Amino acid sequence: MNELEIRTRVLEIIKSIAPELEEGELRPDRPLRDQIDLDSMDWLNVLVALHEKLHLDIPEADYRKLVSLDNLVGYLREKLAQRAA
């Protein structure tokens, strides 16, 4: 799965939780949760959906690395690459 595909998947998941999201308004390099008002329950639901779609379990200790959309996509790409290797 390439970066664009991962990004599309992640955005789909976020949109299912925050349907009012306008993609054009989201700055991928800025803190994600502040921009679209994801509370901890919403965030957990994002992670559960990623777990279901990509079969990746993101440990809580890694949450702090996942601030922006770019961070999240990069993190997932790395994890998926590790798994493939």
Partner 1 sequence: MIEFKLPSLGADMEEGKLLEWKVKPGEVVKRGQVIAVVDTSKAAVDVEIWQDGTMFEQVVSIGETVPVGTVLATLLAPGETPEQAALQKREVPPARPAPKDVTAPAAAVPLATTLAQRKPVSPAARKRARELDVDVDKLPGTGPHGAVTVEDVEKAGARPVPPPADRHAEMRKAIAAAMSRSKREIPHYYLSETIPMQRAAEWLARENEKRSVTERILMGALQLKAVALALAKAPELNGFWRDGAFQPATGVHIGVAISIRQGGLIAPAIHEVDKKSLAELMRALSDLVSRARAGSLRSSEMSDPSITVTNLGEQGVEAVFGVIYPPQVALVGFGRLETRPWSENGQVLALPLVTATLSADHRASDGIRGARFLAELRERLQHPEEL
Residues of this chain that interact with partner 1 (CB under 8 A) are: 18-20, 37, 39-41, 44-45, 47-48, 50-51, 57-61
Q: Shortest approach of partner 1 to residue 64 CB, angstroms? A: 12
Pick the closer one to partner 1 by CB: 4 or 61.
Answer: 61
Cβ pair 38, 32 in contact under 8 A:
yes
CA 52 → CA 22, 28, 35, 47, 57, distances in Å? Answer: 24, 23, 24, 9, 9
Q: Shortest approach of partner 1 to residue 54 CB, angstroms? A: 11
